[in-house]
Homo-oligomer: A and B are copies of this chain.
């Protein structure tokens, strides 16, 4: 047992942090202004030009595709435990991960292609994604049903000759607002008559296939998150070649499970980075404002909150790193309790700390002058995205109850 980062990780952290300090932090206002300008010009769904510049720089510095586990196409790949602390650094700024080609949902989609795609699928879609020249979306959640129970999914993927024909409605399809988004991975049912977890399949659908309508961006609190966006999409008789199916009919649930593990580590570590930033802003604010004759930082109510925040962040980080370590050592499935735990812990922790930071900022906290209200919207959504807290807590509890079941039976 050892709580220090390895020298390799320390060095990667330094390089990532240096990049962040030099290229991300100083450009935050500029990016915000670019998006605002696009919005004023009536074209909010335009990529920010600066991003391509910064991406080239990250690639040049070999800070590119860091998320990718070791594989044939990524021999330098990092373990989850090695990558996680880098994710935390990137998480401090909403658009930073894209600069390192490490942003959701592309990372998860690239992993799916890497693990489950055919060589042809990899050549066509994985390569440009790895190169950062296109982007992708993941069409899973549906407005009409409780999607946390994947067996509820209604989107239909029907075989028709050499094609599959897709009909359904999907929303919260993040990234589908970006004009560079060229490929969707769609989850749907190929055979509702199969056993519960064998009904679903995943299929690759190019974004320009006829029958796809991007209806609107779904807002999160009042944010449309342009130019990324969380889109509401209708698929009507969308036809793609049968070879677009991933892995095989009825294996969608299996792919979904495989996709989840690393993605949760990434999300949680980014969320921890966000929480660190909120705490930093909180500390700076209470140190600089005076009310009723004292700096806010001298009021013990702020000591309570700062201390709780520090305890919560450090604990959430340790739990997430432990989950990453478990995934590396025993695999996604054996580490599913740990993965469910961090999915609950990290977003709840972040919501609370960001909320305290908002409170410290007064009206400014809910405004756009600080990144806090937006950060809150993001963290709050994470308590719902990819299954609400309640589903994950139930998973954790069932595993815990099972551990004690034999003892309880004996005690009867």
Interface residues, chain A, with chain B CB atoms under 8 Å away: 1-6, 9, 81, 141, 143, 145-149, 152, 171-172, 218-224, 279-280, 283-284, 286-292, 296-297, 299-304, 306-308, 310-311, 314-316, 318-319, 321-322, 325-326, 329, 337, 340-341, 344-345, 358-359, 362-369, 373-374, 376-377, 380-381, 383-385, 388-398, 400-401, 403-405, 407-408, 411-412
Q: Is the CB of B172 within 8 A of A363?
A: yes
Chain B residues in 8 Å Cβ range of A311: 319, 341, 344-345, 396
Query: Within the complex, what minimum Cβ distance (angstroms) separates A411 from chain B?
Result: 6
CA A403 – CA B411 in complex, angstroms?
42
Nearest Cβ distance between residue A308 and chain B, in whole angstroms? 7
Select which of B224, B341, B390 is within 8 A of A299 by beta carbon.
B390
Please, how many angstroms separate the alpha-carbon atoms of A158 and B1 in the complex? 48
For A284, the chain B residues whose CB sits under 8 A away are 404, 407-408, 411
Copies of this chain per assembly: 4
The docked-state distance in angstroms from the alpha carbon of A299 to that of B304 is: 11
Q: Which of B147, B148, B390, B408 contacts A288 (CB 8 A)?
A: B408
* Inter-chain contacts of A302 with B (CB < 8 A): 300, 397
Task: For residue A361, give the distance in angstroms from its CB to the closest CB of chain B.
Answer: 8
Is A374 a contact of B3 with CB atoms below 8 Å? no
A400-B146 contact given A152-B290, A318-B318, A358-B380, CB 8 Å threshold: no
- What is the distance, in angstroms, from A269's C-beta to the closest C-beta of chain B? 13
- Residues in B whose Cβ lies below 8 Å from that of A359: 383-384, 388-390
Residues of chain B within 8 A (CB-CB) of A300 are 299-302, 390, 394
Q: Given A6-B1, A299-B300, A315-B315, check contact A384 B366 (CB 8 Å).
A: yes
Nearest Cβ in chain B — how far from A102, in angstroms? 20
Q: Which residue of chain B is the closest to A337 with respect to CB atoms? A: B310
Hey, which chain B residues are within 8 Å of A321, CB to CB?
Answer: 1, 3
In the assembled complex, the CB of A360 is this many whole angstroms from the nearest CB of chain B, namely 9
Nearest to A387 among chain B residues (CB) is B362
- Interface pair B310/A319, CB less than 8 Å apart: no
Of all chain B residues, the one with the shortest Cβ separation from A411 is B284
Chain B residues near A408 (CB, 8 Å)? 283-284, 287-288
The 8 A-B residue pairs whose C-beta atoms are closest, nearest first, are A222-B222, A307-B393, A222-B223, A315-B315, A303-B397, A318-B318, A307-B396, A283-B404
